[in-house]
Amino acid sequence: MTLDRRQAMGRIIGIAGTVAGTALIGPKAMATEGCSGDSQIGIGSGGGGDLGQNLLTYVQLDPMKVANRAYAGYGRGGCMYGVFDAIVQELAAQGHEDACQFAAIPTNIAAYGGGGIAGWGTLCGCLNATAMAVNVLGGVDRAAVIRSVYRYYEKTPMPRGDAAFLEAIGAPTYKDDGGALLTPDKVGQSVANSILCHTSVSLWSKASKYGSSHNAKFERCAQVTAEIAYITVKYLNESLAGTLNAETQSPDNASCMGCHASSKAEPEAYISTDVASQMECKTCHSPHDVEAGLTGIHEGATCNDCH
């Protein structure tokens, strides 16, 4: 049996939605007004060569419009879908030379990332989406944007919760058990100290006193989805303009990486553990004086203090 491109993409979209267990009722994944239904995405290596070739042109977007799309998208398909769909659909709506290629991307493929990938609690879906979207864009420093967004997520109290941002994205929409909207004073804030979904949500739950299946968690994650979409576009715009100067990793890491940076050591010259990571070291690892028992930093701590 042979399938044309439209049928094949339809099957991919259906499979993605089924795997994620989510009903997606988003904008058309295959086309926008003025685009052929058979538009080719036109990215990738074509079976060989430089994977960084044939990228799609990034044009400046309004971060708030993307955040608004992302907040709504969370309700349809979760955090990863919300961020990915918002960026792709807004680029498709710009009417520039690659608009139809963006319109041809089946954004439903991002639905798997909710809950840290099918509820597994690993990489936050918002960050997964950022990397996937940025990775197909030309004209920007992709690695710098991705690392900047990841560091923002790791260190920033979220969700931001200011009135202007909430009004712009149409939040809040979720309600508590008494039928009242979950306003910022109820949802609260927390710092993830990690890029992992389970750490981020657990620390928020501890701070807010809401369970992770409560509507407050869904409101919180919808707002975080909008915030990460916003900050991704902000950094993309800055990279396009050549002004991106965001923090890409914790300054505290420098003291650790003096001994633990990635190296080409072989057994004869191996001295200390190599670490290949941009993540903040002290989120999980104690300084050596603590490990030696000089300070009781973990005294009285519970798993939830870090995880």
Whether the per-residue pLDDT at 120 is higher than 70: the answer is yes
* Average of per-residue pLDDT across 8-28: 43
**pLDDT confidence band for 261 (50 / 70 / 90):** low
Residue 32 is classified by DSSP as: -
Give the SS3 label for residue 132: helix
- The DSSP secondary-structure symbol of 285 reads -
What whole-number distance in Å separates Cα of residue 171 and Cα of residue 23? 21
Distance, in Å, from the CA atom of 1 to the CA atom of 55, rounded to the nearest integer, reads 32
Rounded CA-CA distance 84/164 in Å is 23
Q: Choose the weakest-confidence range: 22-36, 56-70, 212-226.
A: 22-36
Q: Is the pLDDT of residue 128 over 70?
A: yes
- As given in the structure block, the two tokens for residue 102 are 């963006």
Output 97-100 pairs: Cβ under 8 A, ≥24 positions apart: 97/57, 98/56, 98/57, 99/32, 99/35, 100/31, 100/32, 100/34, 100/35, 100/36, 100/39
Taking residues 4-23, report their average pLDDT. 43
Mean of pLDDT values over 93-116: 94
Q: Does residue 23 have a pLDDT over 60?
A: no
Asked whether the predicted pLDDT for residue 306 surpasses 90, the reply is no
Mean pLDDT of 144-172: 97
Q: Is 138 helix (H, G, I), strand (E, B) or coil?
A: strand
Task: Quickly tell me which residue has 């633990």 as its tokens.
Answer: 260
pLDDT of residue 52: 72
Provide the terminal-to-terminal Cα distance of the chain, rounded to the nearest Å: 49
Structural tokens at position 120: 């597994």
Q: What is the DSSP string of 78-104?
A: HHHHHHHHHHHHHHHTT-STTHHHHHT
**Least trusted range by pLDDT, from 61-65, 179-183, 260-264:** 260-264
Q: Is the CB of residue 88 less than 8 Å from the CB of residue 69?
A: no
The predicted model gives 67-95 an average pLDDT of 97
Structure tokens at 88: 């792709």
What's the pLDDT score for residue 66? 98
- The least confident of 71-80, 85-94, 205-214, 296-305 is 296-305
Q: How far apart are CA 79 and CA 195, in angstroms?
A: 14
- Of residues 17 and 161, the one with the higher pLDDT is 161
What's the pLDDT score for residue 3? 41
Average pLDDT in the chain:
82
Both tokens of residue 128? 């997964």
9 CB-near residues (< 8 Å, 6+ apart): 29, 30, 106
Contact present, 253 and 285 (Cβ < 8 Å): no
Structure tokens at 237: 């715009």
Confidence at residue 15, expressed as pLDDT on a 0 to 100 scale: 37
| Mean pLDDT (whole number) for 255-284 | 67
pLDDT more than 70, % of the chain: 68
User: What one-character DSSP code corresponds to residue 297?
Assistant: T
Contact 126, 225 (CB under 8 A): yes
CA 59 to chain centre: 20
Q: What is the pTM assigned to this prediction?
A: 0.80
Specify the pLDDT at position 234.
98
If you count DSSP H runs as helices and E runs as strands, how many of each does the chain have, helices first?
12, 2
The pLDDT of residue 270 is 74
